[in-house]
Structure 1
Amino acid sequence: MKTKRIVLTGGPGSGKTALIKYLENDGYKVMHEISRDVTLEAQRQGIEQLFLVNPILFSEKLLEGRLKQFNDGKKCTAPILFYDRGMPDVTAYMDFVKVHYPVNFSEICTEYRYNEVFVLPPWEEIYEKDNQRYESFEQAEKIFHFLKNGYENYGYKTQEVPVGTLEERANFILANIN
């Protein structure tokens, strides 16, 4: 049986990471988001927001890390593997900030395919800024649309996850995996 690769994506403050942790605690295999790690590493080197200072370098590091996750996922024997963001998130964010990126970014997103994509909308009641999340809620709403359109531009049919409890959201996703 081949493992289904399922991406959970959404703008900042959508509850995505909490949902991934919930699924993991429920026994599902997950690949965690790596952007905070990239940001923290840059901060240790004295760069407060690498994405704002050098969006191409930040995005290259993300794409490299997500490609590694994708390849590591080939070893997974579980029926479902959840990804906290996928490779098309990189180009969607670049489109959001209107920065031209190398053509190989799109080539990687086209070549390495996930089975399904679930998009979480921004949720104002749970939205918080922190040291790695610098976007306003209004920006989070715009990012959500760039992510949804970005995946759809790569040929994915996205499914929007309704707001609700972690259990309700997880049940929605599990019930809607093809």
Structure 2
Amino acid sequence: MPQDTDRLIVITGGPGAGKTSLIEALAGLGHAVWPEAGRAIIRDQQAIGGRGLPWVDPALFAELMLSSDLRGHAEARAGQGKVFFDRGIPDIAGYLALCGLPIPDHVERAAQQLLYRRTVFIAPPWREIFTQDAERKQDFAEAERTCAAIAAAYPRYGYTLVALPRVSVAARVSFVLDHLLAPE
């Protein structure tokens, strides 16, 4: 019988690589999803003139993301069925490393103890679909560095990365769902 965490599935990668489009398509098919914390935090912090922005206070931004991800993990564990996460707790360790910041002990503990399915899907940088907006200020080079930092973080916590192909959203959905039918 699969472990309870096998139903908690992470889709990660750098900004602008198509993660959110894939998550939204999975939600459209009726799958439970947990959205990326970062964008909501940026919107909220901008609305109140807060400091928890990646370009103002990256450590505070990481703490706010951790808080959201802890909540998402707990809600998913309390429910039934598969839940697709737009990023997971190890992303925070990757983000902190990218920023040249130490990874606090409590972030390490969270990444080690609050587990997901051991296979994690990673969206590689994809210049043709990359865009910037009010919440995504990174350029493509930073998106590539972000993906590399995240790709380095997940294996440290025992995860195996599976690269998503650079194909349509519908083809990515099929790739993910087909891959989940294969034994780990």
Give yes or no for contact 1:56–1:101 (8 Å, CA) kept in 2. Answer: no
- 3-state SS, counterpart of residue 131 of structure 1: coil
**Which piece of structure 1 moves more, 32-41 or 12-21?**
32-41
Aligned match of 1:126: 129
Deviations 1:117-163, CA, capped at 9 Å, x for gaps: 10000111111111110111011111111111110111101111111
Stretches of 4+ moved more than 6 A in 1? none
CA distance in 2, matches of 1:158, 1:32: 20
Aligned match of 2:42: 39
Tell me the C-alpha RMSD between the 2 structures: 1.5
- 3-state SS, counterpart of residue 7 of structure 1: strand
CA distance in 1, matches of 2:44, 2:167: 33
**Which piece of structure 1 moves more, 124-133 or 50-59?**
50-59
- 3-state SS, counterpart of residue 88 of structure 2: coil
Unmatched segments (≥5 aa) in structure 1: none
Between the two proteins, the alignment pairs up a number of residues equal to: 177
The letter for the 2-side match of 1:105 is V
CA distance in 2, matches of 1:136, 1:172: 28
Deviations 1:93-118, CA, capped at 9 Å, x for gaps: 11011112321111110010101310
CA distance in 2, matches of 1:20, 1:54: 28
1:16 to 13, 16, 19: 19
Deviations 1:54-82, CA, capped at 9 Å, x for gaps: 1111111110110110000022212x210
Aligned match of 2:142: 139
CA distance in 2, matches of 1:127, 1:88: 23
- 3-state SS, counterpart of residue 126 of structure 1: coil
Unmatched segments (≥5 aa) in structure 2: none
- 3-state SS, counterpart of residue 53 of structure 1: coil
1:91 aligns with 2:77: no
The letter for the 2-side match of 1:93 is Y
Give yes or no for contact 2:52–2:64 (8 Å, CA) kept in 1. Answer: no
Deviation at 1:90, TM superposition (A): 0.7
- 3-state SS, counterpart of residue 83 of structure 1: strand
Aligned match of 2:73: 70
CA distance in 2, matches of 1:49, 1:130: 18
Aligned match of 1:7: 10
**Which piece of structure 1 moves more, 85-94 or 43-52?**
43-52
Aligned match of 1:52: 55
Deviation at 1:44, TM superposition (A): 1.5
Normalising by structure 1, report the TM-score. Answer: 0.94
Deviation at 1:48, TM superposition (A): 7.6
